[in-house]
Amino acid sequence: MTLTNDFKKLLSTNCAAVLNASPAVVAAYESDFEGNLPAFAGLAAANRGLAALLQIGFEHETPEPAAKLAAAVSRFREMSPESRVIVLCNCEGEVSALGCLGVETRLIHQNCFLDERRFRPMGGRDRPYDAAYIARLTPFKRHSLIPVEMAPRLLLLGTVAEHQKRTNRAYVEEMSARYAAARWVNFFHGVKVSELLAEANCGLALSAAEGACFASAEYFLCGLPVVDTPALGGRAVLYPEEYACEVEASPEAIAAGVARWREQRPDPWKVRRAWLEKAAPHRAAYRELMRELTGRDPGRPPHKLGVRTPHSDAFWSFAIQGYLLLKGILR
């Protein structure tokens, strides 16, 4: 595979990944594709075409984002008519919205690319928190839906970045004060997700619109059931129904959902297995697509398809095993 300098820059910032060298198959999020069309076209020219698999980072069920992505795909086709762009959609609504605009799609949910070896239930400990919410402190995550009285038994996980403090200062200050009694963990290494979530009875997903929401899958893989509000973007597609509680977007309904899981406390390993069963057909669809594009079975896909994740599978396998050994979980 011939890599151009422009595309090397995308690889160096984890904005794209190479899934197959010959024939060339690459992966990226739709926003990075839209903003770097010349780099993708240059790579295609250097390799006699390519197949670009695009993941969707935010909902594309509604007309405006669907039209924007379709326009970018159309421009790329003009630059590189011998190439293919295939959008990996998180829900049927996106398949329909983009398909109507002439975009080639597959229903392959983003969360199926999480490497489940990185996340696991960790038993044998108390669960001092009724709920955990993995979410950066930004308005669309709707922290204010969480009942204030839940704060002393609430685990809030997510980085408050400097740019969020600047652009959402009022929201950051309001939520910080509102949930001052909660436990805040603003930064944590990925290997600690399982350990942190082991302290909560359920996970929360509260946005009205977003993408597939990796956090929702991390809850399930760590054995937590989920309290969810209705949302565009397809995050609920891989939810195992018996371990997901969809409620209206109100503090009262969320409190009731959290109380349900606090009382039931399902077996964490059954929760995990149920999610993996829902993800299996999407993983199979990815492997079938790669066989179609390359003529061979790709095996296990890289974690998050290798996009927006700075560490290799080999690095993470070593780091996770070392961490678990240190904690005495592996022997």
Q: What is the pLDDT of residue 314?
A: 43
Residue 167's SS3 state is helix
């929401």: which residue's tokens?
A: 213
Domain ranges of the chain: 5-114+278-323, 116-273
- Contacts (Cβ under 8 Å, ≥6 apart) of 172: 137, 160, 164, 165
Mind listing the pLDDT tens digit for each residue in 70-81? 999 999 999 999
DSSP-assigned states of every residue in 279-327:
HHHHHHHHHHHHHHHHSS---SPPGGGGSS--S-HHHHHHHHHHHHHHT
- CA distance linking residue 137 with residue 131, whole number of Å: 16
Mind listing the pLDDT tens digit for each residue in 1-48? 999 999 999 999 999 999 999 999 999 999 999 999 999 999 999 999
| 3-state secondary structure string across 220-241 | HHCCCCEEECCCECCHHHHCCH
Q: Edge to edge, what strands does the sheet with 226-228 contain? A: 183-185, 154-157, 131-134, 203-205, 226-228, 244-246
CA 210 to chain centre: 10
Q: What is the pLDDT of residue 317?
A: 42
Assess contact for 184 and 126: CB atoms under 8 A: no
Fold classification of 116-273 is Rossmann fold (3.40.50)
Mind listing the pLDDT tens digit for each residue in 139-197? 999 999 999 999 999 999 986 655 566 677 888 889 999 999 999 998 777 778 999 99
pTM of this structure:
0.90
